[in-house]
């Protein structure tokens, strides 16, 4: 009897030891120091000069059950010396993940990315944009969600229940890239406001070098319609209920990558209310909120990226990017839409130990005949330190809705320390 107990105890110890050995815990941290230089005073807002900001990022990962279950926690906080709206914190991820036979299940706060093109990600609608973090819209807020992924022979199917909508972060009047705008309280089409439950799904698969995906979304829009209040003169963000169908296609052929993103969306109010010499979609009046009738529309991004491997007999890969952006609303499109634009860019991958990259692009609007320039580069200085460089030049015409950004050209250097 005592021998059996002894064997059981040994087996228990081995089992616990094995489980502990197979479990994995990772804790990572990152501090960013950001220095941004503006050469000119903003048209509406702060003066030229240097602007400082610091961000803290963390990641805690714990798995168990032989790695079939895990929890990931990614907190984020930024302090900005000029813009109190940019001083903010967020939980980027706090999510439980289970891997089963032919399926994966996630629950919590997560991040999901959809899209294949470079200049815009029209189909990417699960997470809200953290606009005060980056003007290109690629930084996202954490999204409460339940996600079920089914893996089958006929492809992969992602299903989402999204119980809460996040408001888009917007720069304050004291911040650059704000256009000097001040905002009133947010308005929603749904009586449930942010608690309206959205649903979404995405099917994706491939045939040889052809990858494609279809997606659907129903719920509160992530993109606000910006109206005006007659009472305060401030901007009124309005979030309508929308339906969106999305298509992604990517065909890979040696060095070529042909790409397409397109959406069909209904529920967005059209810009048809005449006020202050402008066409508005939303107007706050003393008698209440006026919202224009909605108008269905479609938009697309299509183009290619061609990569030359080992140019100049070196390890450098050189990519060429060309994309066309279209929005069927044309002049009635929202401020953030690209309704008739062309992107031309080049991407350098140096394939060195420092993982250095450089991306340079020009976005040309052939209707307004204006343009914007961008440069993004990064490299490692050592195992714990890296540096990013970003620069933007805005040259909008007086007809362009983004004319208020004409004096906001900047260059930004970010030092990143990992621990």
Q: Is the pLDDT of residue 2 over 50?
A: no
- Higher-pLDDT residue of 44 and 344 is 344
Tokens (6 digits) for 72: 């990931």
**pLDDT at 1 (0 to 100):** 41
Mean pLDDT of the chain: 91
Alpha carbon separation from 265 to 240, 245, 294, 321, 371 (Å, rounded): 12, 6, 10, 27, 27
Q: Tokens 């079920």 appear where?
A: 148
Maximum Cα–Cα distance for the chain, whole Å?
Answer: 93
Q: What is the pLDDT of residues 211-264, one digit of tens each?
A: 999 999 999 999 999 999 999 989 999 999 999 999 999 999 999 999 999 999
Contact present, 187 and 239 (Cβ < 8 Å): yes
| Average pLDDT, integer, range 30-42 | 93
pLDDT interval class at 12 (50, 70, 90): very low
Tell me the mean pLDDT in the region 350-355. 94
The arithmetic mean of pLDDT across residues 76-100, rounded, is 96
Q: 3-state DSSP call for residue 50?
A: strand
Under the banding of pLDDT at 50, 70 and 90, the label for residue 4 is very low
Residue 10: which H helix or E strand, with range? helix 2-22
CA distance 161 to 199: 5
Task: Give the list of residues 6+ apart from residue 382 with CB closer than 8 angstroms, or none.
Answer: none
Question: What is the helix (H) or strand (E) element at residue 6, kind and residue range?
Answer: helix 2-22
How many C-alpha atoms does 280 have within 13 Å on its Cβ side? 22
Residue 378 has pLDDT above 70, yes or no: yes
pLDDT tens, position by position, 120-174: 999 999 999 999 999 888 999 999 999 999 999 999 999 999 999 999 999 988 8
Confidence grade of residue 22 (pLDDT, cut at 50, 70, 90) = low
Which residues does residue 205 pair with via DSSP β-bridges, in sequence order? 212
Query: Cα–Cα distances in Å, from 133 out to 86, 165, 168, 171, 411?
Result: 7, 19, 11, 9, 15
Structural domains of the chain, ranges and CATH numbers in brackets: 35-418 (2.40.160.100)
Rounded CA gap, 177 and 171, in Å? Answer: 7
Q: Which contiguous run of DSSP H or E holds residue 31?
A: strand 24-38
The pairing of strands 210-220 and 198-207 is: antiparallel
pLDDT digits (tens, 9 = 90+) for 167-198: 999 998 888 888 788 999 999 999 999 999 99
Query: How many whole angstroms separate alpha carbon 96 and alpha carbon 106?
Result: 6
Residue 46: closest CA among 154, 177, 159: 177
Q: Which structure tokens are listed for 325? A: 């952006």
Whole-model pTM: value is 0.88
Query: 331-359: b or e for each residue (b if 16 or more CB lie within 10 Å)?
Result: ebbbebbbbbbbbbbebbbbeeeeebbbb
Which tokens hold the place of 390? 């970003």
Q: Model confidence at 374, in pLDDT bands (50, 70, 90)?
A: very high
What is the CB neighbour count within 10 angstroms for residue 185? Answer: 9
Inter-residue contact 351 to 358 (CB < 8 Å): no
């Amino acid at each position: 009897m005592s021998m059996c107990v002894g064997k059981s105890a040994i087996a228990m110890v081995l089992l616990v030891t094995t489980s502990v050995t197979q479990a994995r815990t990772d804790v990572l941290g990152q501090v960013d120091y950001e220095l941004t230089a503006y050469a000119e005073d903003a048209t509406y807002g702060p003066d030229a000069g240097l602007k400082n900001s610091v961000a803290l990022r963390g990641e805690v990962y714990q798995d168990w059950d032989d790695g079939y279950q895990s929890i990931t926690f990614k907190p984020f906080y930024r302090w900005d010396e000029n813009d109190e709206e940019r001083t903010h914190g967020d939980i980027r991820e706090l999510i439980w993940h289970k891997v089963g036979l032919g399926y994966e299940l996630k629950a919590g706060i997560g991040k999901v990315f959809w899209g294949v093109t470079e200049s815009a990600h029209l189909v990417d609608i699960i997470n809200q944009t953290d606009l005060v973090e980056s003007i290109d819209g690629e930084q996202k807020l954490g999204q409460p969600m339940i996600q079920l992924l089914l893996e089958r022979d006929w492809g992969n199917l992602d299903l989402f229940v999204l119980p809460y909508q996040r408001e888009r972060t917007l720069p304050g009047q004291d911040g650059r890239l704000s256009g000097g705008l001040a905002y009133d309280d947010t308005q929603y089409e749904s009586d449930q406001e942010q608690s309206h439950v959205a649903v979404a799904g995405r099917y994706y698969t491939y045939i040889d070098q052809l990858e494609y995906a279809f997606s659907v979304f129903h719920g509160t829009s992530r993109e606000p319609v910006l109206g005006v209040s007659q009472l305060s003169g401030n901007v009124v963000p309005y979030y309508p209920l929308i339906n969106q169908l999305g298509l992604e296609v990517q065909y890979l052929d040696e060095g070529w990558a042909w790409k397409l993103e397109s959406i069909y969306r209904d529920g967005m109010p059209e810009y048809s209310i005449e006020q202050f010499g402008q066409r508005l979609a939303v107007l706050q009046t003393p008698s209440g909120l006026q919202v224009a009738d909605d108008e269905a529309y479609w938009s697309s991004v299509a183009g290619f990226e061609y990569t030359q491997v080992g140019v100049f007999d070196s390890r450098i890969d050189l990519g060429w990017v060309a994309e066309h952006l279209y929005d069927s609303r044309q002049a009635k499109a929202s401020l953030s839409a690209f309704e008739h634009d062309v992107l031309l860019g080049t991407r350098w991958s140096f394939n060195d130990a420092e993982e250095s990259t450089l991306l340079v692009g020009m976005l040309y609007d052939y209707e307004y005949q204006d343009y914007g320039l961008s440069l993004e580069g990064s490299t490692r200085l050592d195992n714990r330190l890296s540096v990013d460089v970003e620069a933007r030049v805005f040259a909008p015409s007086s007809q362009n809705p983004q004319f208020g950004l004409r004096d906001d050209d900047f260059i930004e250097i970010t030092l990143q320390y990992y621990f």
